[in-house]
């Protein structure tokens, strides 16, 4: 097989897509990287610092940009893939700008969409000014100021875990995996920015199953005086003084708890992206009960799909952090090479 | 018997093997969602009764499962069956039906919820 003769389309230029495109190009393939937005980078663009080492997300973006800076990568931004069809031995895709793209193999890296927190109406996002999401808070961090809608510095801040995750009422039974550690990271950053602030995390379970996550949790207790209250917030309202009131059961005490807050941050979960869903519908790629793409095998084929020649990388298959996304994107390369070798034999 | 002024305290532990956990079985059969509770307390936080009395739906759930029936029997009569708990439950447990079935199970055993 001469990799130079083979072309691969990578759909989505977030972390997974950029890493996969870069690694495939390094192997000599002709790669077309398609991105629906004007810029590459995906969700990482909107984050400030990343867990667990508080690295500036700009460093990750800089790395990913070097990855795709290769002659054999064609980048199409502002372009959406409308459908994906297998014709004989190759794949045909129609894009939003009316073009037809052809490839020998396809890597789907359509990522995730953030759960729209206004869907949990009882939490008042979009109703009360000082209920914000984890993504909104990252934007505030980037600006260097965390303020209430009226410009005041918040001194009592709540954080709700599992918003749109592990929640049958939102239709999402799965754990989004990253929100617990994001909550702890953001709590620490809030405390650093506003040392007088009192911060409360409301959780059902704290899931710290990543490298250095548990240590970060401990650090939050030990060095940042973050308060952890075990209970699912049932509702948030606002009183006459514009203060938020959260209701929760303090399950470890066994009594209902009411708390007034200046600001509440909702840890929005991850959902299958809308673009991914459209591709699934037009191509016959299988999705699971969680609506993410179903890998062919959870142990040995997490990059493979039910269509031979179409592969997955990153959060289009399940919630994943950046470390795992990059590993998954590197792993897809070996499956693509195996597939194309088999084809040329 | 000379009264020395001492008495034996009843052990506080949940005697899991000894306790009658059949009420839970009765509910599991008729309301399988009862198995899905993760004790998050969303129900108890939103419960009107729980805001004024010791009543806690979350606690009742776990007490039934452990067979601590005496406490449950005293508590469940406080529920007004408004169903707010069912609305907030992230696991989709039909909590209101759990209460109704618990009452039914006690009644069938000739023990009224008091």
- Same domain for A57 and A157? no
As its CATH architecture, domain B22-108 has Orthogonal Bundle (1.10)
What are A107's strand-pairing partners? A10, A311
Task: Report the mean per-residue pLDDT for chain A.
Answer: 96
- Same domain for A151 and A23? no
What is the structure's pLDDT at B65?
96
Asked if A239 and A128 touch (Cβ cutoff 8 Å), the reply is: no
- Same domain for A234 and A186? yes
Predicted confidence band of residue A4 (pLDDT cuts 50, 70, 90): confident
Query: With an 8 Å Cβ cutoff, is B60 touching chain A?
Result: no
CATH number at residue A91: 3.50.50.60
User: pLDDT digit string (tens) for B54-79?
Assistant: 999 999 999 999 999 988 988 999 99
pLDDT above 90: residue B5:
no
- Same domain for A298 and A162? no
What is the structure's pLDDT at A345?
45
Predicted confidence band of residue B42 (pLDDT cuts 50, 70, 90): very high
User: pLDDT digit string (tens) for A257-283?
Assistant: 999 999 999 999 999 999 999 999 999
- Same domain for A206 and A171? yes
Q: What is the domain count for chain A?
A: 2
- Same domain for A138 and A256? yes
pLDDT above 90: residue A226:
yes
- Same domain for A122 and A224? yes
Q: Which of A292, A331, A298 is nearest to A112 (CA)?
A: A292
Predicted confidence band of residue A31 (pLDDT cuts 50, 70, 90): very high
The answer to whether the Cβ–Cβ distance between B59 and A169 falls below 8 Å is no
- Same domain for A148 and A241? yes
Q: Which domain holds residue A121?
A: 117-269
pLDDT above 90: residue A95:
yes
- Same domain for A163 and A234? yes
- Same domain for A31 and A145? no
Last residue in a domain, options A216, A240, A269:
A269
Angle at A147 between CA A144 and CA A152, to 5 degrees: 130
Which residue in chain A has the smallest CA separation from B92? A168
Q: Closest CB to A256: pick one of B51, B88, B92.
A: B51
Asked if A289 and A264 touch (Cβ cutoff 8 Å), the reply is: no
Q: What would the mean pLDDT of B12-27 be, rounded to a whole number?
A: 92
Q: What would the mean pLDDT of B19-28 be, rounded to a whole number?
A: 94
- Same domain for A101 and A124? no
Q: What is the rounded CA–CA span in Å between residue A17 and residue A35?
A: 9
Query: With an 8 Å Cβ cutoff, is A247 touching chain B?
Result: yes
Q: What would the mean pLDDT of A298-327 be, rounded to a whole number?
A: 97
Best residue in B43, B45, B63 for a mutation probing chain A (most A CBs within 10 Å):
B45
Chain CA centroid to CA A337, Å:
27
Residues of B in contact with A228 (CB under 8 A): none
């Amino acid at each position: 097989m001469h990799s130079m003769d083979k072309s691969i389309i990578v759909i989505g230029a977030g972390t997974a897509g950029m890493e996969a495109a870069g690694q495939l190009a390094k192997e000599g393939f002709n790669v077309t990287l398609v991105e629906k937005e004007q810029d590459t980078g995906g969700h990482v663009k909107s984050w400030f610092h990343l867990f667990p080492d508080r690295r500036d997300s700009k460093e990750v973006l800089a790395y990913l940009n070097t990855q795709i800076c290769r002659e054999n990568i064609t980048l199409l931004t502002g372009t959406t893939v409308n459908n994906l069809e297998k014709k004989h031995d190759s794949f045909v895709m129609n894009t939003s700008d009316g073009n037809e793209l052809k490839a020998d193999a396809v890597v789907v890296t359509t990522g995730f969409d953030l759960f729209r927190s206004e869907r949990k109406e009882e939490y008042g996002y979009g109703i009360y000014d000082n209920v914000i999401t984890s993504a909104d808070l990252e934007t505030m961090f980037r600006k260097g100021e965390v303020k209430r809608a009226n410009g005041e510095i918040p001194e009592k801040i709540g954080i709700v875990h599992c918003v749109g995750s592990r929640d049958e009422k939102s239709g999402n039974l799965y754990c989004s995996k990253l929100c617990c550690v994001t909550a702890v990271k953001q709590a620490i950053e809030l405390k650093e920015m506003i040392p007088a602030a009192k911060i409360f995390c409301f959780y059902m379970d704290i899931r710290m199953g990543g490298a250095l996550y548990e240590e970060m949790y401990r650090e939050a207790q030990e060095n940042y005086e973050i308060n952890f209250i075990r209970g699912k917030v049932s509702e948030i309202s606002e009183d006459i003084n514009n203060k938020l009131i959260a209701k929760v059961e303090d399950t470890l005490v066994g009594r209902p708890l009411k708390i007034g807050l200046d600001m509440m941050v909702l840890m929005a979960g991850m959902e299958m992206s809308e673009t991914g869903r459209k591709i699934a519908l037009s191509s016959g790629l299988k999705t699971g009960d969680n609506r993410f793409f179903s890998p062919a095998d959870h142990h040995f084929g997490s990059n493979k799909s039910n269509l031979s020649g179409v592969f997955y990388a990153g959060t289009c298959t399940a919630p994943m952090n950046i470390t795992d996304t990059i590993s998954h994107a590197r792993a897809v390369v070996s499956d693509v090479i195996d597939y194309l070798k088999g084809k040329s034999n | 018997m000379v009264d020395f002024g001492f008495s034996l305290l009843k052990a506080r532990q949940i005697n899991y093997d000894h306790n009658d956990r059949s009420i839970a079985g009765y509910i599991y059969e008729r309301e399988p969602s009862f198995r899905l509770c993760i004790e998050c307390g969303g129900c108890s936080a939103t419960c009107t009764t729980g805001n004024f009395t010791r009543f806690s739906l979350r606690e009742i759930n776990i007490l039934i499962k452990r067979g601590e029936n005496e406490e449950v029997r005293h508590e469940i009569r406080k529920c007004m069956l408004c169903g707010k708990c069912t609305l907030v439950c992230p696991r989709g447990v039909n909590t209101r039906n759990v209460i109704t079935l618990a009452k039914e199970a006690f009644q069938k055993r000739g023990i009224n919820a008091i």
